[in-house]
Amino acid sequence: MVKTTIQKRERLILGNRACAEGAIAAGCRFFAGYPITPSTEIAEVLAWELPKVGGKFIQMEDEIASLAAVIGASVAGVKSMTATSGPGFSLMQEHIGYAFMAEVPCVIVNVQRGGPSTGLPTKIAQADTMQARWGTHGDYHAIALAPSSVAECFHFTIRAFNLSEKYRTPVIVLTDEVVGHMREKVTFPESSEIKIINRMKPTVHPGWYQHFEVNPHFVSPMASFGEGYRYNITGLTHNPDGFPTARPVAIKEKLDKLKNKITHNVNDIVEIREEFMEDAHIAVFAYGIVARAARQAVHMAREKRIKAGLIQPLTVWPFPDVYMEHMLEQLDLVIVAELNQGQLIREVMRVNTGKTRVRGLNRYDSELITPDQIFQKIREEK
Amino acid sequence: MALLSKVTHQYLRTKKQFPNVWCAGCGIGTIMGAIIRAIDGLKLPQDDVVMVSGIGCSSRMPVYVDFNTLHATHGRPLAFATGVKLAQPNLKVIIITGDGDALAIGGNHFIHACRRNIDLTTILINNSTYGMTGGQVAPTTPFMKIGTTAPYGNRERSFDIAKLAIAAGAPFVARGTVYHMVQLRKLVEEAIQKKGFSLVEVISHCHTLYGRLNKEGGAIEMLKWQKEHAIPISAAGKVPPEKLRGKFLTGVLWDIDFPEYCEEYDKVMAEAQGKM
Ligand SMILES: Cc1ncc(C[n+]2csc(CCOP(=O)(O)OP(=O)(O)O)c2C)c(N)n1
Ligand code: SF4
């Protein structure tokens, strides 16, 4: 059993625990989940910690039920989260779509492991990158954050809650087996230093309230069940008042709203970390744990006077199209390093309208990509 | 909607949602009336009632009633309701589900909800078929009855819903019919008042699909069948066993007490916070 009390400002902790503590710091007071390696510690920590802060934990019968319960709790006004890995993430796709359609804030942590299927329960991969984007059916627009350290597990989980509350949409934290299971020192901020965003509440009279109001921000104020607003929510395509519709105009309006709230806010949602990009001709594009190796590799390259730099998307989805287009214009070569057979490279190639060479460095044998491998790739391709 | 008198009117979203999607003569509207009367009888404020459903003809009900309503995904309303109830235990959470919704795709959620014993009231509308998708065979379709996906007759056994629920741990299990509307209202009232997981199975009819496929007549003939085959549990002892064959029992079939989950979790929180 995982025990402790959250106290000291500086602690050496597990990545998964940092996710759990980040959730509590963000105001998460409900967790429903189903055990799966390598995410289980998140559930175990929250089973222990949530009741201490007046929150609730429940172990459900599967991952489908877990996300359903999370959505139910969020509709009832409580910030909610689940955590899983590969096979469980597959099972959650139906309700990721529901949360997106019904505009219910919630956070899903996917601690990636090797796949397909049961794959490699205790080994790393980044092969759910595209599933996080396209996993559920229908036109869907994802937000996914990718921590590369234990401290980032803490901070990105808070940010995931903030984004989900701000945009009334599910947000995925895409970590992995290594980040989840490594221990690093984290300096925790005071609670007063943590920025918390809560969902916007309606100010109108219940008679005028529309749960899916169309407005210029694409995000509608959200009342909770029991607050006197008595609205309907459904996964059926619906009017702004929440009732099902089959009118083409209303259908388009709804789907545009869902799209626009993400695409019109890319600048707010997306965060990118750069290193040596001011004068770089070569960039390594990598997220999560791979970005750490990539950072070392570009330092090695710089020592050899190779003008290499690092682009690390801290937000994997939405993809920063405009930013990357701009970067590609000034680059001769981009090496996309990832722990799969080539997923994010498709995005880089999609926005690459110029003559930049795009090369993949892929590993999917359960081992990490090393700094040396990336450095060698830079030397070979430059 | 002649059936829905003045009592029911204040609980309906008349402006927004009528006419409804149900076939004329379908039993679901009558069941909705009984549920509304039960809620009215218990004087539950509308703001405090949450109705959660899955997908199907039965599961369309929440859209029409003026409560906090959550039309969820096929088979999973109990899982959504679990989250709602844990987040706001003061709310009365009522689940409307079909037999396919609750027992096929949602079978796992169903048995675990029975076992877990959260204070949820489940109204399971059993019409022996998949209505919404066009009369396919369901886990409740009796042996050798016809469904569009069992054109040569259903060769599987059907679930005994009440026995399943009791075996899975549900502390309150009742059965009513569309025909016996007054009894149904009482059963729903009792179920709502029960502290813990409660199930009311309602025998309904889908005359347009199941009735037609199985040559069981229209709504009136199928209601008559309900009348003739329902035996109140109070009378069951007096009926000779041979006369019980092919019939079903109605009333409160099971009522025991077991610690309710939300109340237990309050103790968990008190212990975790060092108050005990
Ligand atoms: C995941 C999924 N699978 C299948 C369906 C299609 N579907 C909609 S309703 C339904 C069956 C409904 O039957 P039941 O629950 O018995 O309700 P009824 O319509 O008879 O009231 C099915 C299979 C769906 N909506 N979602
Ligand atoms: S199809 Fe059957 S269950 Fe559905 S509304 Fe019509 S009669 Fe009722």
* DSSP notation for B131-193: TTTTSEE-TTSPTT--BTTBTT---SPPP-HHHHHHHHT-SEEEEEESS-HHHHHHHHHHHHH
Which of A326, A335, A332 shows the shortest CA–CA distance to A286? A335
Both tokens assigned to A363:
């590993």
Please report which residue ranges of A114-186 form alpha helices under DSSP H: 129-134, 150-167, 177-181
CATH architecture of A273-381: 3-Layer(aba) Sandwich (3.40)
Spatial contact of A157 and A342, defined as CB atoms under 8 Å apart: no
Whether the ipTM is more than 0.90: the answer is yes
**Run of H or E including A358:** strand A357-362
**CA pair distance A130, A135, nearest whole angstrom:** 7
What is the SS3 string spanning A229-257? Answer: CCCEEECCCECCCCCECCCHHHHHHHHHH
Consecutive 10-residue averages of pLDDT for chain A (382 residues):
63 98 98 98 98 98 98 98 98 98 98 97 97 98 98 98 98 98 97 96 96 97 98 98 96 98 98 98 98 98 98 98 96 98 98 93 98 98 91
Q: Which CATH class is domain A10-193?
A: alpha beta
Least CB–CB distance from A60: residue in B79, B81, B265:
B79
Q: Considering just the CA atoms, what is the radius of gyration of chain B in Å? A: 18
Residue B85 to chain A, least CA–CA distance (Å): 7
Over residues A247-256, the pLDDT tens digits come to: 999 999 999 9
- Dihedral angle sign, alpha carbons of residues B133, B135, B137, B138: positive
Distance CA A156, CA A341 (A): 26
Q: State whether A30 and B273 contact (CB < 8 Å).
A: no
Contacts for B60 with CB less than 8 Å, ≥ 6 apart = B20, B21, B22, B28, B53, B71
Q: Calculate how far, in angstroms, residue B213's C-alpha sits from the geometric centre of ligand 2.
A: 13
Write out pLDDT tens, residues A43-55: 999 999 999 999 9
Domain B2-275: assigned CATH number = 3.40.50.970
pLDDT tens track, chain B, 276 positions: 444 566 778 999 987 766 789 999 999 999 999 999 999 999 999 999 999 999 999 999 999 999 999 999 999 999 999 999 999 999 999 999 999 999 999 999 999 999 999 999 999 999 999 999 999 999 999 999 999 999 999 999 999 999 999 999 999 999 999 999 999 999 999 999 999 999 999 999 999 999 999 999 999 999 999 999 999 999 999 999 899 999 999 999 999 999 999 999 999 999 999 965
- For strands A333-338 and A308-313, give the pairing: unpaired
User: Residue B129: nearest ligand to its CA?
Assistant: 1
Rounded CA Rg of chain A = 21
| DSSP string across B73-91 | -TT-HHHHHHHHHHH-TTS
CB contact under 8 A, B63 and A232: yes
pLDDT of residue B8: 79
pLDDT at B276: 59
Which residue from B minimizes the CA distance to A242? Answer: B63
Yes or no: say if A328 and A303 are a contact pair by the CB < 8 Å rule. Answer: no
| pTM metric for this prediction | 0.97
The answer to whether the CB atoms of A73 and B271 lie below 8 A apart is no
User: What is the Å distance from ligand 1's center to A64 Cα?
Assistant: 17
Contact A135, A96 (CB under 8 A): yes
Which of A162, A168, A129, A158 lies closest to A18, judged by CA? A158
| B62/A68 Cβ within 8 A | no
- The H or E element that residue A335 is part of is strand A333-338
The secondary structure element, H or E, covering residue A381 is helix A371-381
Contact yes or no for B188/B213 (Cβ under 8 A): no
User: Residue A7: what pLDDT?
Assistant: 61
Same fold, A10-193 and A273-381: yes
Q: Which residue of B has its CA nearest to A4?
A: B272
Instruction: Tell me the domain boundaries of chain A.
Output: 10-193, 273-381
Which H or E run contains B220? Answer: helix B219-229
Residues lining ligand 1, CB < 6 A? B 55-58, 74, 98-101, 125, 127, 129-133, 138
**Quick one: pLDDT at residue B215?**
98
